[in-house]
Amino acid sequence: MNFDMLLINFPYLISVVLFSTGTLIVITQHNLIKKVIGLNVMQSSIFLFFIIIGDIVGGVPPIIDPANPDILYVNPLPSVLMLTGIVVSFSVTAFTLALIVKLYI
C-alpha cells in the first residue's frame, strides 16, 4: 500500500477505528454508563465520517459570486445535518442517563 494513499484515507481509517471501538465497548461492557459512552463514541465516528465526505480540497465557502462561476464550492449540507445530529445525540444521551439514574436510585 502506498504511503500517500494511507495519508489520504487516514480520516476514514480513524472513523472506522472509532466506530469499532464504540461497538466493542457496547458489546463487552455490562455497566450501562459505559454502554452510553460507547454509543457516544460510535455517534462521534459517524459525525466525523460525514464531515470528511463533505470536504472538498481547495473548495471555498458557498457564497455565490456571479462574476466567477467556475469556483469549486464546498457542500454545506453534511455540516448542517451533523449539527442537527449532534443536538439529537446530546438529547438522547441526556435522556438515557436520566433513565439510568431513575433505574438505580
**pLDDT tens sequence across 3-40:** 788 787 888 999 999 999 999 999 999 999 999 999 99
Is there a contact between 48 and 79 (Cβ–Cβ < 8 Å)? no
Is there a contact between 82 and 51 (Cβ–Cβ < 8 Å)? yes
CATH number for the domain spanning 27: value is 1.10.287
Q: Which of 102, 103, 91 is nearest to 40 (CA)?
A: 91
Determine the residue type at 64.
I
Q: What is the pLDDT of residue 1?
A: 62
Count of structural domains within the chain = 1
User: pTM (2 decimals)?
Assistant: 0.82
Domain that holds residue 53: 3-104
Helix (H) / strand (E) containing 79: helix 77-104
**pLDDT tens sequence across 33-92:** 999 999 999 999 999 999 888 877 777 887 877 787 778 888 888 888 999 999 999 999
Backbone angles phi, psi at 62, to 5 degrees: -80, 65
Q: What is the pLDDT of residue 86?
A: 94
